[in-house]
Amino acid sequence: MAKRKGITVSRQIMDSQLLHPGATGELTGLLNELIVAAKIISAEVNMAGLADILGQSGKVNIQGEDVQKLDEFANQTIKRRMEQCGYICVMASEEEEGIIPVLEGYEGKYSLAFDPLDGSSNIDVNVSIGTIFSIHRRVSSGKQGSAEDLLQKGSRQVAAGYIIYGSSTVLVYTTGDGVHGFTLDPSVGEFFLSHPDIRIPEQAKYYSVNESYTNYWYEPTRKFINYLKEVDPDSGRPYSLRYIGSLVADFHRNLIKGGIFLYARDRKSTDKPEGKLRLLYEAAPLAMVVEQAGGRAITDDGRRILDIEPRELHQRVPLIIGSKKEVDLAEQFFTASAK
């Protein structure tokens, strides 16, 4: 269905529902509730510099990271709203170790995994941060949902997306029918369609990686990055490095401008042998978005992110994601070594 700039996200979601005659409106309701939470978080993030909400909350989350007040606020905002929306049976959050139940009597037919405020270490320096979400259909029976409803491979996601809180607040999501971007007009509190049918450029000379880990990388990663940096004007090399250190900001730039983002395995920390990023609420939702926009998302041994069967909620995974041509090229380096 043609997407017309300027329509509201609620109108876009309703148009999509109408393409599914048997739909009851539950997915629509879920998405709209999530969008209300995003508006509340956006208002808080944009006030953070003024309100006394910057800095540490004095708590440490299960990742062993200092919980910033805004992290906590975002987590609570999504939890409180979604536990009583009636559309989900269970949740998982980057900020909490175990599964999060919904209120008794409010169990619905979807599950929700989310990173409430990714990149929060950048809050105090006004760098863009974001919320990432992933929605699956419940597979468990019985009243309350279970981890089984969350531990599903990414290719089974019903919807996925993110909200980036930057110079403007932009919602980017997919339900499997392309990728659409909506910009929040805070003066009216509405998201308006600003990026219809997003397609990631098939090729772009940008790479996004934390180069300070060069000496921790395994050989294939080092060889690939060195290749991108070689001087060869005929092939458009060297590539330009763009790295913000905030996944949603780095990914969003990649999606719009093209390029490749890498967070591969490294020898840096024994407790993160699979790299730093999480499968359930970071890699898998972004992988659905990028594939729907014509890009690719793989691990550093060539596995498709969306094919990985999750074992645990906070499972980490190496992530190579972006423009098709660049990920194809990376795959040659990473799988050549595996042979």
Binding site for ligand AMP (CB under 6 A): 13, 16-17, 20, 23-28, 158, 175
246 binds, among ligand AMP, ligand P6P, none (CB under 5 to 8 A by kind): ligand P6P
Binding of ligand P6P at residue 169 (CB under 6 A)?
A: no
Strand partners, 263: 319
23 binds, among ligand P6P, ligand AMP, none (CB under 5 to 8 A by kind): ligand AMP
In this chain, which of 79, 138, 180, 276 binds ligand P6P, going by CB under 6 A? 276
Q: Which one of 101-109, 117-125, 179-187, 219-227 is the stretch in contact with ligand P6P (CB under 6 A)?
A: 117-125
Candidates 189, 197, 168, 152; CA nearest to 289 is: 197
Using CB under 6 A as the binding rule, the residues of this chain from 209 to 248 that contact ligand P6P are 210, 245-247
- Give 119 or 145: the residue with its C-beta nearer to ligand P6P: 119
28 binds, among ligand P6P, ligand AMP, none (CB under 5 to 8 A by kind): ligand AMP
Helix axes 324-338, 219-229, angle to 10 degrees: 140
The H or E element spanning position 60 is strand 56-60
Query: Where does residue 335 rank: exposed (0-12), middle (13-18), buried (19+ CB within 10 A)?
Result: middle
What secondary structure does DSSP assign to 113-132, as a single string? EEEEEETGGGGGGT--EEEE
Minimum CB separation from ligand P6P for residue 212, in Å? Answer: 8
Minimum CB separation from ligand AMP for residue 333, in Å? Answer: 37
Give the separation between CA 171 and CA 35, rounded to whole angstroms: 8
The size of the interface with ligand P6P (CB under 6 A), counted in residues, is 9
Cβ-contact 337, 220 below 8 angstroms? yes
